[in-house]
């Protein structure tokens, strides 16, 4: 429990963060920016886990453990995505998402 901070404030904050990420994910055309937006969404979830763990179920650790999982997963996913982006850049000389619509073939 943090003094002067209610769970509603934290949840509002994470919701904002999530939708900022969502907006970025849809509107940005730069692959790196899309990746960053994705990270924003993941992180807002991690904060949600911790906040609910702390405020609603104090004394257990599952929420904290899950947020650790999310961080580890996010790191792995970023590494993978960056590798893909690098390959895309090698092929098309740009990191624009519109250039990779040939991926379906």
Query: Considering only CA atoms, which of 98, 100, 84 is closest in space to residue 27?
Result: 98
Q: Which residues bind other proteins (CB under 8 A)?
A: 22, 25-27, 34, 59-62, 65, 97-98, 100-105
Least Å from the CB of residue 29 to other proteins: 8
C-beta closer to other proteins: residue 93 or 101: 101
C-beta closer to other proteins: residue 9 or 35: 35
Least Å from the CB of residue 3 to other proteins: 23
């Amino acid at each position: 429990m943090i003094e002067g901070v209610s769970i509603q404030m934290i949840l509002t904050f994470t919701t904002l963060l999530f939708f900022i990420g969502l907006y970025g994910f849809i509107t940005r055309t730069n692959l790196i920016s899309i990746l960053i937006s994705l990270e924003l969404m993941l992180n807002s979830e991690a904060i949600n886990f911790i906040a609910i763990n702390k405020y609603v179920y104090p004394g257990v650790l599952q929420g904290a453990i899950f947020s650790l999982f999310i961080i580890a997963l996010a790191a792995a996913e970023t590494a993978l995505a960056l590798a893909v982006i690098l390959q895309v850049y090698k092929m098309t000389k740009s990191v624009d998402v519109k250039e990779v619509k040939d991926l379906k073939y």
